[in-house]
Amino acid sequence: MKINTRKVLSYAFTYVVWIIVTIVTILPVYWMFVISARSRVELFNAPNLIISSFYTQNYTNVIYDRTFQSYMMNSVIVSTGNAVLVTALALLATYALSRYDLVGKDNIFFTTLTQRMAPPAAFLLPLFLLYTQVFAFGEGRARWDLYDTQIGLILLYCVFNLPFAIWLLKGIIDGIPVELDEAAYVDGATTSMVIRRIILPLAAPGLAVTLILSWVFAWNEYLLAATLTNFNARTITTGLAEFVTVTGTNWGEMAAVAMLTLVPSLIVVAFAQRYLVAGLTFGAVKN
């Protein structure tokens, strides 16, 4: 049997490249786990990637800490609320852009995307001034302060995640034949029925991907949460900064918190991973 040397070398080179990429990707996470498993004395010894003993106190200190529990709960509520709200709004927006002959809809789509192009730091000052002001409504002057609130963070993350979600779902909704909508309208269906019974089932993989990515983006966000929260709505990512004190940095507990923040993301992705490939490729080729 004749062996194609060039093909074998090509496969070998590809595998070597992927092995290197995998090591480079996993090594920082593993090194963080090593730090979380060591005491303060062991951390200042010579660097070593091998874990000889597991120092569990780093994890127990943060797990049973009420402040850590509060930060974790805030992150779960804010991320989940933002992901659900963004996905629902993006579905309605992309359906309107895809199905209705709106005047200047291409300009609307492009203008929406421009909101995601600017770095979040560019919005810090106006957002801080906006969120620290107390809004007054009606004659009774009912007040609603968005600073250091969960609803404030949920609405804030919509500003940055919604354009991305609309861009992601646009191709998916365009890939669903409009003839299905027309057939449903002939049978007497309303727009809400078309969305519930036709669009939702067919776009489920894409909606799952949008939900997951919106959730992850909100979960990992640090800059805006650190600026627009104080204590009540602080998220777990901003809580990491509290381990840096004037007397030193508690690297072990900081690494333990960082490892624990990976767990919810892994759970979310694990439950919805079967939708990921289908959702990312759905709508790539328009029917």
Q: What pLDDT, in 10s, does the model give residues 4-43?
A: 777 878 888 899 999 999 999 899 889 899 888 888 888 8
CATH C-level class of 59-281:
mainly alpha
- 88 pLDDT above the threshold of 90: yes
* Neighbour count for residue 74 (Cβ, 10 Å): 22
**Strand residues in the chain grouped as ranges (E):** 135-137, 142-144, 244-245, 248-249
* Residue pair 226/240 in contact by the 8 Å Cβ criterion: no
**Residue 284: predicted pLDDT:** 46
CA angle 160, 72, 266 (to 5 degrees): 75
**226 CB-near residues (< 8 Å, 6+ apart):** 237, 238, 241
Distance CA 242, CA 193 (A): 49
- For the chain, the straight-line distance linking the first and the last C-alpha, in angstroms and rounded, comes to 44
pTM: 0.82
Which one has a higher pLDDT value, 248 or 65?
65
- 283 pLDDT above the threshold of 80: no
